[in-house]
Chain A
């Protein structure tokens, strides 16, 4: 009986606690949509990103093998996450909360949408809505477009932004822009935040020796910092702005971790010499067994010869 009241209290209050922990996404962010349709390609790219960034906590979607944290991360294939709108998922992933990390500076906007497209592939009832027009309070009714390019002469990457509607195209001025280069484990900020000039341009200095791929290509991502004024404006592109990097295989040279044919010389020598030396001695000692045997045979031979002569001599 004495447990009844606490238990009753718990039952009454538990939903209240849960409500207290609800993750509220600002109204204007909820309706945000991807600007491109989800395809097999985006889902595949999303799966890759999910495996490297999310699986450690959320587990494999549909398996329910997420780790036990409070509040729980949950399985993305379940109602808990699927009930979010696209905009809510996007917001939660980019801002994070508590144990859930913020991916704003790890994944580009496009990449977060790729992850969303992967998560949505576990929801049969989902029908995607694509955003037609980017709502911007500064340029109402217009879509903000970006172009990017590399200027080899002064090694800068420029971003040029314009607002386009049915009638005209105007330069977007005074907008804060950041540039990132994609690295193995996230986005690396390039230069400072810049503001677009009268012609809608901002230039970022590329540090000398920025590694690119074999050809020197670098994956850049530019993004407007003031989302309230301009909406989310971001663009990913690949520019020939880095140094060529020919990846050297870790297995190319002799090394401790390499296979036996590429073992360091000193290991090979020490091992071989040591084994030959010790087993050489062992062989020598084994030969001594043979020597003992041969000597014994000779002595026994002599003895029996003596014995024979003795017996031969005796009768005489």
Chain B
């Protein structure tokens, strides 16, 4: 028998009910096939745009000599930022001892994996000669933050995968005998991936030990990945990027977008996967508080980032800030800051707003604003380099993303959705054993045989 033999009938019953609730979604339902089919079709259309870019070169984008980092890099920063939430939920909140994050932590990890994995691809889409990508490893300079970024993003992706996989092992073992009527290939995959898990005490001990190391290790790595991403900008003397607080500024912004992404995903799984029992209004209420906290920290860093240069008004900064506050980017800037940050915080302070539906809507605004915020950080400064732009056509000076660029960016977003869909469809989204363990003595769950 590969089943856990529970010491009490009650515990076995609890496990059974969690497993059946969670595993109900592990099947190729019609809705899923339509949804994934739609995603792949849309992806194919967008990849066609990328093929055009491959053939014609980056000239098909709005990128030119002066604004050479546009939508792609803004999107990359957004992806890296959003992926950080895996660390925030599982590690920071988990290690503090908040048990309520348990049902959410796997969702957070899935989001982390999807965004971190695609972030790397986004960088390749920004390359005019992607065939030269291996040169980064052959001739990469260890002094360059770009090399550090590649290193830490890869590391973070591996750590997130491990952090997703380890707690999944017992679930796979629990589930493998309950997958009646699922594709045999999937059952076989469960069998292999469960690594002969026997719910033995010593196996749990190893698992917990590994988890503890991972949870600690991922904190500096996550800090590193977004700090290094901010250094891609902050180590240049360019106005708008030349800032000493870019590391924490990016990091705090990352928590905002990641938390919003998790809330949206929670809402989606709660409704579509019928997981109301596990992702309760209580969890939304808590996540609402987290969102308030991280947003306030981010507002604080925004204040620093704009007030200090705004007080000194060095020539370059003056031009840059005028563009943002009252100039070409004013509309975008103020909507992002107000609709995407200040107003959500004010709304979320009201308890009624921390219920699932309003939370989901507010988070959608916050997430969209987070994307646009990256655009505002990356693009405007390049229109005003320290040496004047001269002797070039106007369209080289003002950056406007082209349709092809937008389609390629869409492709990356679709890819994220595909990864999230597949991971959450093939494997349990709610940790079964942890939920069952929740109400019972850990020893009893693990210490049998």
Contact = CB atoms under 8 A, between A and B. Distances in A.
Interface of A: 56-57, 59, 65-67, 256-260, 263-264, 267-268, 271, 275, 278-279, 281-282, 284-286, 288-289, 291-293, 295-297, 299-300
Contacts of A289: 195, 210
B143 A264 contact: yes
Given A56-B391, A65-B391, A279-B155, A292 B141 contact: no
Contact of B203 (A66, A279, A295): A295
Given A282-B159, A284-B213, A285-B162, A275 B198 contact: no
What 8 A-B pairs have minimum CB-CB distances, sorted nearest first?
Answer: A296-B196, A288-B210, A299-B198, A293-B195, A67-B391, A263-B142, A260-B141, A296-B198
A282 B158 contact: yes
B217 A296 contact: no
Given A256-B143, A295-B203, A296-B196, A281 B391 contact: no
20 contacts: A56-B391, A66-B391, A259-B141, A260-B139, A260-B143, A267-B142, A271-B148, A271-B151, A279-B155, A282-B162, A288-B207, A288-B210, A292-B169, A292-B195, A292-B197, A292-B206, A292-B207, A293-B196, A296-B197, A297-B196
A292 to B, nearest CB: 5
Given A59-B391, A285-B162, A295-B203, A260 B196 contact: no
B13 interface: no
Interface of B: 139-143, 148, 151, 155, 158-159, 162, 169, 195-198, 200, 202-203, 206-207, 209-210, 213-214, 217, 220-221, 390-391, 449
Nearest to A288: B210
A295 B221 contact: no
A57 to B, nearest CB: 8
Nearest to B1: A303
Contacts of A286: 162
B203 A292 contact: yes
A302 to B, nearest CB: 10
B159 A295 contact: no
Kindly name the residue among A57, A67, A271, A291 whose own CB sees the greatest number of chain B CB atoms within 10 A.
Answer: A291
Contacts of A59: 391
Contact of B217 (A57, A66, A268, A281): A281
A296 B195 contact: yes
A306 to B, nearest CB: 11
Given A67-B390, A271-B142, A300 B195 contact: no
Contacts, number: 82
Contacts of B449: 299
Contacts of A291: 206
Contacts of B198: 295-296, 299-300
Contacts of B196: 292-293, 295-297, 299-300
A57 B388 CA distance: 13
Given A285-B162, A296-B195, A297-B196, A56 B390 contact: yes
B31 to A, nearest CB: 34
A293 B169 CA distance: 11
B3 to A, nearest CB: 12
A63 to B, nearest CB: 11
A66 B197 CA distance: 74
Contacts of B206: 288, 291-292, 295
A6 to B, nearest CB: 28
Contacts of A56: 390-391
Given A293-B196, A295-B202, A296-B196, A281 B213 contact: yes
B164 to A, nearest CB: 13
B200 A296 contact: yes
A263 B143 contact: yes
A117 B142 CA distance: 48
Nearest to A271: B142
Contacts of B169: 292
Contacts of B213: 281, 284-285
Given A56-B390, A282-B162, A285-B213, A275 B151 contact: yes
A297 B197 CA distance: 9
Nearest to B196: A296
B200 A278 contact: no
B217 A260 contact: no
Nearest to A55: B391
A263 B221 CA distance: 23
B209 A288 contact: yes
A257 B142 CA distance: 10
Contacts of A282: 155, 158-159, 162, 217
Nearest to A300: B196
Contacts of A57: 391
A293 B220 CA distance: 29
B191 to A, nearest CB: 12
A278 B203 contact: no
Contacts of B210: 285, 288-289
A285 B214 contact: yes
A256 B145 CA distance: 11
A297 B158 CA distance: 26
Contact of A260 (B142, B207, B214): B142
Contacts of B221: 278
A55 to B, nearest CB: 9
B155 A278 contact: yes
Given A296-B203, A299-B196, 14 more contacts: A59-B391, A258-B143, A259-B141, A271-B148, A282-B217, A286-B162, A288-B210, A289-B195, A291-B206, A292-B169, A295-B198, A296-B195, A296-B196, A299-B449
B388 to A, nearest CB: 10
Kindly name the residue among A257, A286, A288 whose own CB sees the greatest number of chain B CB atoms within 10 A.
Answer: A288
